[in-house]
């Protein structure tokens, strides 16, 4: 296990070593029953943060922190995965991350989605290994086959644009209206709020379009030409030229830090070379 430290994902391990390390990771209890009586210690792994901690404000425990420690998944975390109550609330992943983070000051809902993804993949690797068998359909012959994927081979996609300040704020000038937008990358909390908002809208107006694009865009946008009033932003977003909307969405997607989930595999039936996003269904956390 120790040899794999810093190499949970390829392409990120080397740069992480020796950089800012969180100093609060020494909270092992003095009386450790597992260690003292069973000679067993739960393994801890270091996970690179795609954001490099650059999106977190000064008072956040992960401000400028490039990697954090997680403890390996145990039977207790399997309880979380199987909890129906958590699944109903849509908070299973936050609870899982929270249980596995060594630094308990970190609230998983404050983490941006890409960092959460890196942690979730890391938890999967420490719990069940990096081999992941999943059914995928061939894009050419449509036949579904079981494939072996190596989660450890996925590449971290680091943050490459500079924040417009010392936190989660980035600038983009809309190509058609020339307006200056400040946007943020969504956190776990933002994602949960979005899902709830879309569900509420659907209940109120069952025949209206779901508004997934505008709702997401609205939660990304912090201000337009200095105006940060949410209802004004909402009005602008629903009336903005499609070219502006698409350019902004493309820019956000291209630069969002996270883990590149694209995998390639050859179809055993027709030899077609497939490229698709790693399927992360409900069986992702089960070994085979």
Q: CA distances (Å), 62 to each of 91, 189, 276, in order? A: 21, 16, 32
Instruction: Give the nearer residue to Zn ion in terms of CB position, either 146 or 246.
Output: 146
Pair of tokens at residue 204: 């109120």
Instruction: Give the nearer residue to Zn ion in terms of CB position, either 121 or 267.
Output: 267
DSSP 12-48: THHHHTTS---TT-----SS-HHHHHH-----EEEEE
CB of 18 to Zn ion, least distance (A): 45
Q: CA distances (Å), 98 to each of 24, 34, 101, 136, 147, in order? A: 16, 21, 5, 30, 30
Instruction: Give the nearer residue to Zn ion in terms of CB position, either 141 or 173.
Output: 141
Q: What are the residues facing 262 on neighbouring strands?
A: 277
Pair of tokens at residue 280: 């992360």
CB of 271 to Zn ion, least distance (A): 7
DSSP letter assigned to residue 139: T
Instruction: Give the nearer residue to Zn ion in terms of CB position, either 149 or 185.
Output: 149
CB of 257 to Zn ion, least distance (A): 33
**Which positions ≥6 away from 54 have C-beta within 8 Å?**
64, 159, 163
Instruction: Give the nearer residue to Zn ion in terms of CB position, either 101 or 136.
Output: 136
Site for Zn ion, rule CB under 5 A: 138, 140-141, 267, 269-270, 272
Instruction: Give the nearer residue to Zn ion in terms of CB position, either 272 or 284.
Output: 272
CB neighbours (10 Å) of residue 181? 24
CB of 226 to Zn ion, least distance (A): 53
Angle at 198 between CA 195 and CA 199, to 5 degrees: 85
CB of 260 to Zn ion, least distance (A): 23
CB of 261 to Zn ion, least distance (A): 21
Q: What is the CA radius of gyration of the chain?
A: 21
CB of 144 to Zn ion, least distance (A): 10
Q: What are the residues facing 274 on neighbouring strands?
A: 265
CB of 135 to Zn ion, least distance (A): 13
Instruction: Give the nearer residue to Zn ion in terms of CB position, either 79 or 273.
Output: 273
Pair of tokens at residue 271: 């030899």
Strands (E), 151-206: 155-157, 170-173, 180-183
Q: What are the residues facing 156 on neighbouring strands?
A: 259
Instruction: Give the nearer residue to Zn ion in terms of CB position, either 141 or 176.
Output: 141
């Amino acid at each position: 296990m120790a040899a794999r430290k810093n190499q949970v994902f390829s392409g990120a391990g080397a740069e992480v070593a020796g950089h800012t390390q969180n100093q609060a990771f020494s909270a092992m209890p003095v009386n450790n029953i597992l260690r003292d009586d069973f000679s067993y210690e739960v393994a801890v792994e270091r996970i690179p943060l795609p954001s490099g901690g650059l999106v977190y404000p000064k008072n956040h425990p992960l401000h400028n922190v490039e990697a954090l420690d997680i403890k390996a998944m145990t039977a207790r975390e399997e309880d979380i995965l199987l909890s129906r109550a958590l699944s109903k609330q849509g908070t299973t992943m936050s609870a899982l991350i929270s249980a596995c983070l060594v630094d308990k000051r970190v609230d998983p809902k404050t983490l941006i989605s890409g960092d959460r993804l890196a942690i979730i993949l890391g938890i999967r690797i420490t719990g069940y290994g990096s081999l992941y068998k999943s059914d995928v359909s061939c894009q050419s012959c449509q036949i579904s086959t079981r494939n072996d994927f190596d989660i450890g081979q996925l590449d971290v996609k680091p943050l490459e644009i500079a924040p417009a300040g010392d936190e989660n704020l980035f600038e983009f000038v809309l190509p058609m209206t020339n307006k200056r937008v400040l946007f943020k990358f969504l956190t776990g909390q933002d994602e949960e709020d979005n899902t709830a908002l879309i569900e509420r809208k659907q209940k109120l107006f069952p025949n209206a379009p779901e508004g997934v694009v505008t709702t997401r865009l609205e939660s990304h946008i912090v201000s337009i030409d200095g105006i940060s009033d949410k209802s004004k932003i909402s009005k602008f977003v629903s009336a903005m030229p499609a070219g502006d909307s698409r350019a902004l969405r493309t820019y956000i997607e291209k630069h969002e830090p996270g883990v590149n989930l694209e995998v390639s595999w050859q179809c055993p039936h027709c030899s077609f070379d497939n490229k698709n996003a790693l399927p992360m269904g409900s069986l992702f956390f089960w070994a085979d």
